[in-house]
Amino acid sequence: MPTVGAAPPAGAPAVAPPGAAPVLSIPAFVPTFPGSPPPRTPLPAVAPQRAAASQAASVWQLTLADGQTIPVTGSLVLGRDPAPVTRRAATMVSVIDPARSVSKSHALVELVDGELWVTDLHSTNGVTVGDVHGERTPVNPGVRTAMGAGVSLSLGEFAVQVSRPDA
């Protein structure tokens, strides 16, 4: 590995002693003056990188009746004024429900190993999952239930559409 040494005097070549690692010349300071352009330093080439999330798993998203579109990348607590309910980090998502049918912390939506799950957090008006044929199934409070793309959730009377845009 090359060692870093002091820059040689102007005009002198940078030469390492015989048998030693080469010496790199690095200028310590480049003065600039007001009104002068900054010194040009070439930047190293950087290969484009893809976002880890897009390679790791498919992206799920929720479209809420109040117009919000939320990407699901972990755990979400949906409710009128949600509070943390898990020991893991979760994003609190407040919904605006004119019918006032959504509980304070109504449902937990989790992304686990690329699959989407919903748990009713013992809400007053319940959670139902509607399949692509329109058949509705109630979610038992406290029981994690799998969801697929194209299903709809009802938090009380509040509608949530589940989709997987990259599928």
Residue 95 belongs to some domain of the structure? yes
Domain of 75 in residue numbering reads as 59-163
Residue 144 belongs to some domain of the structure? yes
Residue type for position 9: P
**List of the chain residues with pLDDT < 70:** 1-58, 87, 167
Residue 153 belongs to some domain of the structure? yes
User: What pLDDT, on a 0 to 100 scale, did the predictor assign at position 59?
Assistant: 86
Residue 104 belongs to some domain of the structure? yes
User: What pLDDT, on a 0 to 100 scale, did the predictor assign at position 42?
Assistant: 47
| Beta pairing partners, 67 | none
Residue 2 belongs to some domain of the structure? no
User: What pLDDT, on a 0 to 100 scale, did the predictor assign at position 45?
Assistant: 45
Return the closest-CA partner of residue 83 out of 117, 38, 121, 131.
Answer: 121
User: What pLDDT, on a 0 to 100 scale, did the predictor assign at position 37?
Assistant: 60
CATH of the domain at 138: 2.60.200.20
User: What pLDDT, on a 0 to 100 scale, did the predictor assign at position 88?
Assistant: 75
Residue 110 belongs to some domain of the structure? yes
Q: Give the Cα separation of 157 and 160 in Å (integer).
A: 10
Return the closest-CA partner of residue 81 out of 101, 97, 107, 104.
Answer: 104
Residue 26 belongs to some domain of the structure? no
Total domains present in the chain: 1
pTM above 0.75, yes or no: no
Residue 3 belongs to some domain of the structure? no
